[in-house]
A and B are shown apart, each in its own frame.
Chain A
């Protein structure tokens, strides 16, 4: 499918999905499309709490789709233009990904299916760092013998190797399906455990799923029921992209002196972290239970009129425990004290959708009209908590003690509260409603010298009324008109509702006499429409809200009783961001569609951009939410998709599909509004950034000094002389090529992807792999010694163009007599990320890590194109077996 980019990190360790359909349409929102699983739109926000930020940045939240077993997915389809997404309303502004799970339709008479995969992964690439002897000899020659002597601890440790591993993962899936005429059923159970190629990263998933479809009353009443129950256990290493000057585990492994012993008790004073010590004293685990169910009833009132009502319920219950034990070194107050964070998140979403559908066939035309109502709410509640100062050393034990302590403390409070805490001297309980900031705790935990908990409970609501008419004339001319009124609780009284019309026209040109028989398909599509967006805005930011500020544990372990602060300010004018989309497309096919394809031209204009703009001082928060009045974000481009079946014979088939998309992204009408983002992290990069919002430029445009050298090869530029450098992080061209060959029982397929016309900022090199870093006794690569400047500049800005062999697989369908128990048996071998062609000097230009964090100066603009100690993308080989019986 052309025009979208799908960064799925499931292959790494189950974190983060990053999908862009036709570029980024919004400054603030994460620009991810809406995921709809069997008709239930998922919340755009994560269902797992972030790991607590103890030291060095919190850990990212996890992939929202991870609760689905990939074997249960029947199809994934993507809706792009406004008319197509209109029925999903406001939340479809960035496109819609429709995930349909397998039903029991194909299981006539009842059959079983067993799937099993076994895979091995290893890091696809690594840096060529100096080994121990080389590090010492370079230190002697480039610095001094004295320095080299001081640095030599006599060992030879490969720290990259120490923190990475080759892993074996597995996934087992058993399904039963039965189609018994008046209905069908499918039930699955699966278990999988994947290990990441970095130590202490894994994901375990247990899911059960049932799909039931039943027809009653001469098929006039149709009931569908889908339900998933899942348990996902994630384990994450300390690799926050927001980690500061000490770096995260990956940064520490690049920088660590290779002559250090690989002992978890070894440390030296200062800010150089021993990765073995960090890894041994760290643990972050998240457990998420999720229940997603959907029940719909559809009834034919008359031949023409059908009513449908569906209810959905999505509940997830997650707990994240992050622990640093007292044995850790080089992390300020945690040394010899130990600290843990326990965060919970209960996310509940309820959906009600009711529609009336009228269908009528006339002699030369048909009409299909629908009116409907949907309501969905999203409640998020839970508690963030931390405990400091424990003498326990067992990581599991510290986590469990904190969890128990927080439960005990909560239980001991018999009034409503927002937060509580204690330190060596005092304790506090702060309540909002009724207001009381004088409460105290009756008890303290013996396990932690100080601890606090801070609760949250907020609910967003969405409500829509919509109507759509499809009219088809002579089966050649198809008209669609949609009108929706979308309401959101994120806006003030005057602007809760946005009204979003769209229309489309399609013409089956191929059926016209004047076209002739050259085309087997020729269809012209034109559409225009608008959709609203309220993602990225967050809970109730249109009115003044007051709550107690988050408690913090000071370096001496004390906690000051927090006072109240204004967390959101009045802005009754806040309204929907809207994207207007124009699309012109042609579908064509020749020779019975043996050769077919489509071409699309589009332009999307997003207006009233929701923006967290600096607020005029004095203000409670340096930023406030506004709509950028004249701001417009324009994405325009062209997409081409081609499919050709080269060979279609009984024994051999060979087909290819190719897609390519060009997208241009521009921001206009800023009227001086500006923002710095593209946060850079690492030693010597505190407060540094690489991107700025610029009039007439792409959203993620780089802004920095231009590097140059004098005749001797020494840096010769003013690092403070910053400007736009005419490069951005959004690919101009994305492309994919799929090849499929079958020969009798064998099948072979390969898929290549490529992205072109974008730049990546190599924050990893800027922070760790340069000559100046070597001067601070950090290990580097031979190439890094050539990088003579550690200033933020174009020296570290590189073209990211790449082609990747995303996967290749070979399969064999074992011939069966058909008389035994087995109906079919298939074996397959798949390789993922087999090779990468790029000039980028880092490990991988397809960056999916995020370097920005809550409360930094960016005002919440996500990061893109900043490569900071990215999780090494693995190369994975998977052996699969699929049996039906």
Chain B
């Protein structure tokens, strides 16, 4: 028996090894267990997959817009409208906030890199859906055309150059770079497609998705800024006429101005809202609120973002207070002296104290003493009054400073209100009053008189009508109406005021028109030789 095993084992073991090697020999290819494998992209294969890409793009925008960093920071904190002082060690964040407000950013600033990556990615995903080989439905193509235009618009506005990747080319090829009129024409072509193919949504419809009106609004933005994008410096009359007709078309779809300024920012539909984003408005609320301004869900505040007194002063009203019933206009809001009785539409009373939760927190601009629901004067985390100041001062030496601030420096800005739900997912991106002011501006830039249009809005907002409207008036009006809505940088550039001096701006940046474009992220210049770094960086 043993001998038998001995002989056969010798005979068996070699073939056994051979066979086992043969059978286990692998081609080392991966299988579709975890993800769909696309060896060479030749278009999206099914309409369902293309539609899923569109879903993914809308989801992506949620994050891009909801964030307090990235695009919001580049659009607002780089202006006179917002700044983030360092309080103790809070909000130091390695200087990223200060650099934006002071105009001392460098090509490795992380928000500059993030915005570049995010909105370019949107373009590429959209391009796959739009690829002629893709099985995308007409509806998916319409959405993708709008989203690609939006992505490219953001890149053009912020960087002046738009890398474009052709999805039919080798993925390793260097993307082409579009600038000036070439870039504008590309965006316009997509928007014309979008306008003709997107649904004509009315204000009570699904304005969270792109519509003809959203595409028209974006096209109006592009036309209004075209003379900045192409460097001509002078608005073309035909472009301005187009802005006017586009805004009229939006109005024709049922959008228009509505009264009740802060109600617009509630999480419901209204005639003003052309396009909103399903993202939490929490960041817009918590960024400025002090820790002791307790919100209904106790999620904030973070005691960071504030505005400059010089911006606050463009509003009518007392410079040192913003109390309820004061002489300020509606849009500056007010600081209530106590909470409001429960029962206000859309509010809660979780603690059953008879007061609407969060109703002690003011609207618009918070300056001076802040109050508890029962009317007690709030204190900071010590026992000092919670009294927001106009000035930013070093807590130790009292000198004006962007660093070492106390908890109470700076006027706070709050537009979305916590009593209507700090977790509400409803942030407005395109709003009719912006379109209305774009129309006014287009009329002004083509030699007409915008006074009637501007006053129409002002009267609706409870502000005194203006006798005449200058360029400065129009920029200020846009600031008053659209503060903290992503447009301040774009507006200031178009009105030539982005390079002016404001508090804490670095002296070297004053008058430096190079700052009107952000630098291309340093690594991108190396990775794509078609890009040329913007002047001054």
Contacts and interface: CB of A to CB of B under 8 A. Distances in A.
A673 B526 contact: yes
Given A545-B37, A549-B56, A560-B59, A622 B10 contact: no
Given A150-B382, A618-B165, A554 B425 contact: yes
Contact of B13 (A146, A299, A487): A299
A291 B298 CA distance: 47
A632 B383 CA distance: 59
Interface string A365-406: 000000001010100010000000000000000000000000
Contacts of A309: 13, 16-17, 20
A217 B5 contact: yes
B467 interface: no
A791 B13 CA distance: 69
B524 A356 contact: no
A307 B15 CA distance: 11
A271 interface: yes
Nearest to B128: A566
B360 interface: no
Contacts of B39: 543-544, 570
A432 B38 CA distance: 13
Given A562-B55, A616-B175, A458 B116 contact: no
A333 to B, nearest CB: 7
B405 to A, nearest CB: 9
A217 B92 contact: no
B352 interface: no
B208 to A, nearest CB: 11
Contact of B56 (A268, A565, A622): A565
Contacts of A672: 523, 526
Interface string B269-287: 0000000001110100000
Nearest to B16: A309
Contacts of B298: 269, 329-330, 335
Contacts of A299: 9-10, 13
A413 interface: no
B338 interface: no
B425 to A, nearest CB: 6
Contact of A489 (B24, B28, B278, B384): B28
Given A489-B28, A564-B53, A686 B35 contact: no
Contacts of B376: none
Nearest to B39: A543
A307 B421 CA distance: 73
B292 interface: yes
B41 A301 contact: no
Nearest to A381: B33
B215 to A, nearest CB: 21
Nearest to B283: A555
Interface string B81-92: 000001111111
B382 A144 contact: yes
A839 interface: no
A776 B380 CA distance: 11
Centre residue among A435, A496, A566, A777 by max chain B CB count within 10 A:
A566
A547 B49 CA distance: 10
B52 interface: yes
B291 A271 contact: yes
A146 B89 contact: no
Interface string B74-85: 000000000000
A685 B2 CA distance: 74
Contact of A333 (B30, B38, B104, B423): B423
Interface string A403-421: 0000000000000000000
B88 A776 contact: yes
Nearest to B167: A618
B174 interface: yes
Contact of B524 (A146, A614, A620, A790): A614
B381 interface: yes
A795 to B, nearest CB: 13
A196 B297 CA distance: 35
Interface residues of A, number: 116
Interface string A234-246: 0000000000010
B86 A684 contact: yes
B51 A676 contact: no
Given A558-B425, A775-B88, A686 B93 contact: yes
Nearest to B279: A554
A615 interface: yes
A683 interface: yes
B163 interface: yes
Given A356-B17, A489-B30, A270 B96 contact: no
B20 A149 contact: no
A701 interface: no
B383 A217 contact: no
Nearest to B63: A552
B62 interface: yes
Contacts of A687: 69, 93-94, 96, 110
B93 A150 contact: no
A375 B46 contact: no
B25 A463 contact: yes
Nearest to B57: A563
A356 B17 CA distance: 9
A864 B9 CA distance: 54
Centre residue among B26, B89, B279 by max chain A CB count within 10 A:
B89
Nearest to B122: A618
Contact of B124 (A332, A563, A618, A674): A618
Contacts of A496: 28
A169 B86 CA distance: 46
Given A143-B382, A149-B383, A354 B89 contact: no
A433 interface: yes
Interface in B246-302: 278-280, 282, 291-292, 294, 297-299, 301-302
B32 interface: yes
B55 A556 contact: no
20 contacts: A150-B379, A270-B292, A299-B10, A309-B17, A335-B297, A436-B48, A457-B34, A544-B37, A545-B35, A555-B299, A563-B58, A565-B53, A617-B175, A618-B123, A672-B526, A686-B93, A686-B96, A772-B86, A772-B88, A775-B88
Given A269-B291, A560-B278, A563-B57, 9 more contacts: A297-B13, A458-B30, A458-B34, A489-B30, A544-B171, A545-B35, A563-B58, A564-B53, A684-B89
Interface of B: 2, 5-6, 9-10, 13-14, 16-17, 20-21, 24-26, 28-41, 46, 48-49, 51-59, 62, 69, 86-96, 99, 104, 106, 108, 110, 113, 116-117, 120-121, 123-125, 127, 163-165, 171-172, 174-175, 278-280, 282, 291-292, 294, 297-299, 301-303, 379-384, 395, 404, 421-425, 521-524, 526-528
